[in-house]
Structure 1
Amino acid sequence: MTPPPPPPPLGRARRKDPAAVRAALDDAELAAALDALDRGRWTVARSLLAATGTDWDRRGHRLMALGAARSGGVWAREWRLAEPDSPDAAAFLATATVHRALRGRASTEIAHESCLAAARLAPADPTPWLAALSLARATGTPDACEYAFDQVRARHPGHHHAHHLMAACLAEHQQGDTDDPLHQVYDFAAWAVEQAPDDSPLAVLPVVAHAERYRVLAAAGLEPADPVASGHWATRRARQAMKTAFDWWLEWEGGAGHPRGKVDLNFLAHAKYCEGRLAEAAALFHRIGPYVTAEPWGYPARDPVCAFRAARDIALRVT
């Protein structure tokens, strides 16, 4: 059975299904570039990336979304041929080739080489290494994931998406185990928060770690499909992680941060719901509105491989 939907946001009617989350999240300029890309106008993406500059978090989000677009690979190659010395074109081609490899339409070797080529053109840019981390998570080794993550962090220590991907990588280790409170994903999340500034969305990373670990345990049949029915969220470590993250949210209030900030709060809202703290959960669900999904990890824009595996595992259990 699929997990139940979250409770309805305060003051709103219950919807049958949670709203779909677009790859652009609330980045209107990225949404316009993706629409233009579907019409074959890759120059809009070029202008968008030029305007993004060295906002590495936003650049990574935009390039990964552009690379995942249906026609991204075609127009990335077109742009690369037109401007072979462009770091933006090389990074776009790298993310597009990685997404093609994740779909089984390109070889892992070609995708990895595209990432290295983009990294050589822009040594300070963490985005090619973000793409390499996404590839390594699905097709590589733990050492490859750690190396790519270290390369991202060397260029931008607080990189948002990279920390999410690394948490997912670590959560997937030792898939046959029970929920070990000393699992490395929890230590990684705690360490990352200690290194991050006080106003960083990485404050929610320990909750992300618990959600990702629960996903792995549920897929292995070691936890029930319904997270509310499990004891996963009742441990002292989980309760402390949620308290710290919720206190941070009360101060931050969603702010004008990175577009992924509200999506991070999806993890926290579900964790509060699973813990039985329904008033706090309802407040979060109300705040993040269309970012609410049926499961903490249920928004495919962040991680298509994770979404595919979760859907496959649910289908296998139902049939």
Structure 2
Amino acid sequence: MPSTPPPLAPSAGPPGHGRAAAAEPLATATDDAPLDDAPPGTPSADAPPGDASRADAPPPSDAPPDGPAPADAAPPGSPFDAALGDDELVAARAALTQGRWQVARNLLARTRDDWDSRGHRITVLAQEPRAADRAREWLLAEPGAPDASVLLALALVRRALRGDEPPDAARAACADGAALLPADPTPWLGLLMLERALGAEKDVLRAFTEVRERYADHHHAHHLMIARLAEHAAGDGPAPLHEVYDFAEGAALAAPADSPLALLPVVALAERYRVLAAAGFEPADPAASVHWTGSRARQIMKAAFDWWLEWDDDDHPRRHVDLNFLAHATYCEGQNAEAATLFRRIGPHATPDPWCYPDRDPYPAFRAARAAVLRPPRSTPRTAP
């Protein structure tokens, strides 16, 4: 049975061609961009701890003892939209809200075994407040429908994370979905969301291993695992050799060259900053922290930005999650020209994580960082001779 990616010695991360070898001209700090318009969002429910693609939701569940978990929800009226620009998903979610589950059924049938897209789409559909009811209606019309069972499982996971459903009921629903679709990692992804927040270490590892048995490069599952690992040894302070860095670098190196898992070391930096700042070892303002400017951090971010220039994939369903993590890290490092390029690529698709770290209001933090790198500098008046 495949295990988690083996810890590797610290490395510079995935290979690249150097920052100067840009595939497109870098935006500069003098480029103008609209800063006052909020990205459009479609209301939905909360997202799991450690997930960067959030939307409207009830208040998050209690944080683990090692520090607050990643943002669990966005407030009503939030500009964040978990669909991340997937228009078909937005339409299916809207239909589900109106009681029409058939659009979601057709969407999931078309998604088939594109596991990252399937996980993203079911996760977002499950955030709809009545998703569990809609899934049960679907099952009444089509008894034993596997996609309906998986949607119900993830909807119950959401409810359990909010304290509205017994966790064991959500676990049982995930097991039912996995039995109906043995090759699908999505029921195990739902279980990983649950155990990442509420479970013991062995349960987290088991769920992650089951996901990887079915799809070794699962994007969302790796992000959840990194968020959990980052919380280990929170009270020990900064640790350049912390296990989360080895895990992230091992997974990045084991993945195919074009896999977005190449950016996992950047995610590990952000998640570890979240934990250290919550424990008082780092300042609450990430841009004021030296966490991003050490030699290992600079190697990680250079390699990640180089990878993005070479391999950026506009088709990956969670690409904006990675863009937000990379823009956040580059901004905190002080690489404004690179950050400006990333902000422009993000467009309206901001995500709460990591802008909320450690406990900030994410959209003002996002807008302030974007303004800092995109707003033209003020000219200095010349001194008269």
Q: TM-score normalized by structure 1?
A: 0.87
- Is 1:281 the counterpart of 2:339? The answer is yes
Q: Which residue of 2 aligns with 1:267?
A: 325
Partner of 1:12: 33
* Distance in 2, Cα, partners of 1:135 & 1:82: 28
Greater RCO, CA 8 A, separation 6+? 2
Find the counterpart in structure 2 of residue 316 from structure 1. Answer: none
- For residues 325 and 253 of structure 2, what CA distance do their matches in structure 1 show? 19
Structure 1 residue aligned with 2:141, among 57, 64, 82? 82
2:207 matches 1:148: yes
State the alpha-carbon separation in 1 of the partners of residues 135 and 272 from structure 2. Answer: 35
* Alignment-derived partner of residue 234 in structure 1: 293
CA positional deviation for 1:74: 1.1
Change (3 A) 1:31 1:139: same
CA 230–311 in structure 1, closer or farther in 2 if over 3 Å, else same: closer
Going from structure 1 to structure 2, the CA distance change for 1:81 and 1:173 (only over 3 Å counts) comes to farther
1:221 matched to which residue of 2? 280
Q: Secondary structure at 2:280's aligned position in 1? A: coil
Do the aligned partners of 1:8 and 1:285 also contact (CA within 8 Å) in 2?
Answer: no
- Quick one: which amino acid aligns to residue 12 of structure 1? A
Q: Secondary structure at the match of 1:180?
A: coil
Q: TM-score, normalised by structure 2?
A: 0.73
Would you say 1:135 and 2:156 are equivalent positions? no
Residue of structure 2 equivalent to 1:42: 101
Higher share in helix:
1
Is 2:248 the partner of 1:189? yes
Q: CA deviation at 1:83?
A: 2.4
Instruction: Say which is worse superposed, 11-20 or 110-119, in terms of deviation.
Output: 11-20
Q: Which has the larger radius of gyration?
A: 2
Q: Check 1:260–1:145 CA distance in 2 against 1; reply closer, same or farther (3 A cut).
A: same
2-side partners of 1:75 and 1:272: how far apart?
42
Size of the alignment, in residue pairs? 296
Q: How has the CA–CA distance of structure 1 residues 24 and 47 changed in structure 2, closer, same or farther, with 3 Å as cutoff?
A: same
1:159 aligns with 2:180: no
RMSD between superposed Cα atoms in Å: 2.1
Post-superposition shift, 1:96?
0.3
Match of 1:21 among 50, 55, 80: 80
> 2:114 aligned with 1:55, yes or no?
yes
What do residues 61-94 of structure 1 show as CA deviations (whole Å, max 9, x unaligned)? Answer: 0111111111111111222233232110110010
Q: Identity of aligned pairs, percent?
A: 57
Q: Which runs of 5+ in 1 are unaligned?
A: 1-6, 299-306, 313-319
In the TM superposition, residue 32 of structure 1 has moved relative to its aligned partner by 0.2
- 1:199-218 equivalent positions in 2, closer than 5 A: 199-218=258-277
Partner residue, 2:92: 33
Q: 1:8 to 1:221 in 2, by over 3 A?
A: farther
Q: In the alignment, is residue 72 of structure 1 matched against residue 146 of structure 2?
A: no
**Ranges in structure 2 where 5+ consecutive residues have no aligned partner:** 1-27, 41-78, 362-385
- 2:380 alignment counterpart: none
Alignment match, 1:301: none
